[in-house]
Structure formats: structure tokens, C-alpha cells
Chains A and B, each alone.
Chain A
Amino acid sequence: MAGGGLREGAVSCVLFDLRRWLRQPAFVATWSVLVLLGGVMSWLNPEPAMPFFAPLFAVFMAAGDTAEGWRRGSWDFLVSRGPSLARWVIARFGLAVTASAAVLAAHLGASVASGATSPGQALAWVSTLVYWAGVGVAVSFWLSGAAALTLAVLATVLGVWWVVSGCLWLTGLPPQELPWLSKGIVAVLAGWPVGELSSRLGPTSWGWEAMRALAGLALLALASRHAARRPLLTREAG
């Protein structure tokens, strides 16, 4: 029977993509250096090292080369007598979260173990990874990994600007005084670090952090649904 289980199919996709990532020396070098750097920095000083690099991997890997594959027509090979597009989307999301979580663990693990970072703050970071991996797969049909990464960086810059001066400048109110919905939208959609942004918006709560993860999962669901229905039109052929 073709297809196997959902888990089995997704694992085949993850292994396939993992091998392709491992053939990108620049990517492997960057990821390895950041993991090593995080480990060394955490060992020297049990403060959070540089966890803000982790979401970059989440969004970059989740977007991957989906759009390029669309233009080139390489999806024909993968979905014809192979796993469905929706399964590929889920696999890319899973791989992106896992690889970025490894970076996060290297930069935050010792800090959490020593108590310098609370488990709640660590989970907020995990929530951020899930969110940006969700954004990555959602935009992957149109944007390259590099473009999605740029989008994430711009969103972060915009989020920081909003909290620091933009909100006051545009609305005349500090962000803490805005209605809860506005705070929530900014906290979820803005980039990272989520903890600092959230604290500038008012007391950090599990609600805001969980909302970010839920938004990521909702984006994954939307992307999977879109993938299941999308035709594989590469170019106008005769």
C-alpha cells in the first residue's frame, strides 16, 4: 500500500530534506558554529547566550527551497508516487523546529539549568520558534528561505521600533496603555526576543506566549491545507 502512515511518510520527508541540508556546507558551518558558540558561552557564563539566532533557522529552514522547486518543477518528482505536498509541509516545519531548537538549547540550556533563565522564558522562546517555523512554511510557496528570513528580521525591527517609539509616535499612547488586543497582536506578530517585547507591552503572561505558538500551528494548518489543493503549475506548457 502506497503512502504508509502519516508519521512514516513525514519521517521519510524529514530524512530526505535533512540529507539535502547536510550537503550545504555554508549552512552546516553556520549552524555548527552557532551551536558550538552557544555551548561555549553558556559554559563560561550561565546567562542566556544568543538565543535570538535560533528563530532565524526556524524561518529559513521552514521556507527552504519550496518556491524554487515550484518554479523548476521539481515537486513533480516528489509528489508523483510520493508523499503528499501537505506531508512535505509538515516535515519541513518539524525539521525547522528541531534544528532551531538545537541552537536554542545550546544558547539557553545552561542558563535554564542554573536558574538564570526561567522555564517560562525558555518556553516563550520555543513558542517563538514554532511561530516563525509556521510563518516559514506559510510563505514558502512564494518566498525563498532567504526572503522569509529577511521578512522575519524586518518584523523584529518593526516590533522593536513599535514598542520603543512607534506606538507613542503614532497613537500618542505608550504600548502598555493600548487595549489588550493591540498588545496581543504586536506581541505575536513582532519578531523576538519575545520576553523583552512582551515585558515592554505589559506583564508577560502565558497567554501571549501560547498565542504565538498557536499562531504558528494555525499557519502550519493553513499551509498544509493550501498544499493539499495547490496545482503544480510550473510554466505554461503546450
Chain B
Amino acid sequence: MSATLRAAGITYSYTKGFRLGPVDLSLAPGRIVALLGSNGAGKTTLMRLLAGLLPPQQGEVHLGGGVASLQQLRQEVALAPTEPAFPARATVLDLLRLRCRHLGIDEKDAAKQLEAALGRPPSLLPARLSRGQRLQVALNLAFLGDPPVLLADEPWSGLDPLAQDEVVRLLAERGRKAAVLISSHDLGNLAEVAHEFVFLHHGTVRFRGSLEEAVAAAGPGVHAPAALKTLFRRTLAEQEQ
């Protein structure tokens, strides 16, 4: 399946004045793109646009060559949100069953895998889980059915170091086949897993390149992930000027 997701000049403005874009971005199978930016830079909005949860006010999102409808994006693009808001009174197992049935995959296997990842029975309400565990639920649900495009918003926030390593490993594994976009402030984990880095600031893309290009742009003697931090700082400083 051709899973290339391409945003062409997409914009979104909120009533309070924040404007995202125009943003051009391509995600291809087998590549992991890291999305960086300060708080409020537009990362979450961009992810929601790519996942078909918001319609772009200008521009288009293409999937597999054609312009994708919101419904197509919702079906093909899996989003693991940073602060998952689970439906009230639904257990983890309810959510798992719903998605498995929709995607036509075996729910028993999926339930076993989720239980192993969580260390808790999936029959629990998400409210009974820790924040890190809820994030793991969101990630595991996003992984179900091998989505061609995977968007992960702060996927290791709130996880202990071992769990973070596991998520890095899982994302790297997914990134061999799927098109993956990860938004995070954790530059170390991103440097470990991502092939391309996109800096977003005040709703526009300020830098786009590989880790080697980011290191080169940061200057001599600086290595990843310090190079990413230097670049980050410089992007902010340029904006201030």
C-alpha cells in the first residue's frame, strides 16, 4: 500500500489568533520524521490536521497520491495523542474490541499483547491507570492493524526510562514499514529514532533536514542530541530578532 502522506500548503487558524501554516510536509513509508517546536508552536494542530480530525482551511492533504477526505485520513492515519481523553465508562478492553472489530483483527491476541505491555488487565477503566499506562494504551491502540501512517504526540512523556526504551524500539520497528511522525521535546529519544527533523515555530516550518544536516547547521564540535538543542535555541533566537 502506498502510504505517503503529503500536506500541501495546509493552514488552520483559531479564533484566538494562532495560525498554523502554510505547512508542506511529506511522510513516506520506512521513514520516521521528528516534529519539534516550543509549546504552542502548532505541533498538535498539525497532527490533528494530518489525522483528519480537523479540516485544513487552505491547502490539501494527499494520501497515496490523491487528495484525501477527512474520513479517509481517519481510517488510514493512526494518532496516539499525548493526553488521551478516553470515553467515559469505557474500559480499555471496550476500546480494544471496538478497534479490532473495525479493523478486522483478532481481539484476543491484541488483548494479550496489551495486557503484557501494561502489566494490568485490560478490563480496567483508563481512569484506574497511571498517566504513563494510559499513554501506553493509546500507543497500543494506535499500533493495532499496522496503520500505514502513524502519528505519535509525545509518545514517551510520563513513561519510566525502560518503558521509554520500549516505545523507542516499537516506533523504530513500525518506522521500517509505516510512515511515522513523532512530536516530542525529548531530543535524545528523537535523535535515536528519527531520520528527518522538522522544526515548527509560531505555526511555520523553520528547519527541515536529517540529523547530519542538523548537526552541520548547529556548528562544529556539537553532536546529537545537543545539536538539536542548539538548533532549537537558534531558531527561537532568530524569531526573537
Contact = CB atoms under 8 A, between A and B. Distances in A.
A77 B104 CA distance: 17
A74 B142 CA distance: 14
Given A2-B102, A76-B53, A238 B87 contact: no
Interface in B42-62: 42-45, 48, 51-55
Q: How large is the interface on B (under 10, 10 to 19, 20 to 34, 35 or more residues)?
A: 35 or more
A86 B53 CA distance: 14
A231 interface: yes
Interface stretch (A16-24, A33-41, A96-104, A157-165): A16-24
A77 to B, nearest CB: 6
Interface of A: 1-4, 8-9, 12-13, 15-16, 19-20, 23-24, 65, 68-69, 72-74, 76-84, 228, 231-234, 236-238
Nearest to B17: A236
A237 B86 CA distance: 18
A77 B86 contact: yes
- 3 nearest A-B residue pairs (beta carbon): A238-B40, A73-B85, A236-B14
Given A84-B71, A231-B55, A77 B87 contact: yes
Contacts of B54: 231-233
A238 B70 contact: no
B147 A12 contact: no
B5 interface: no
Contacts of B43: 238
A80 B78 contact: yes
Contacts of B40: 238
Contact of B39 (A9, A77, A232, A238): A238
A3 B95 CA distance: 15
B84 A77 contact: yes
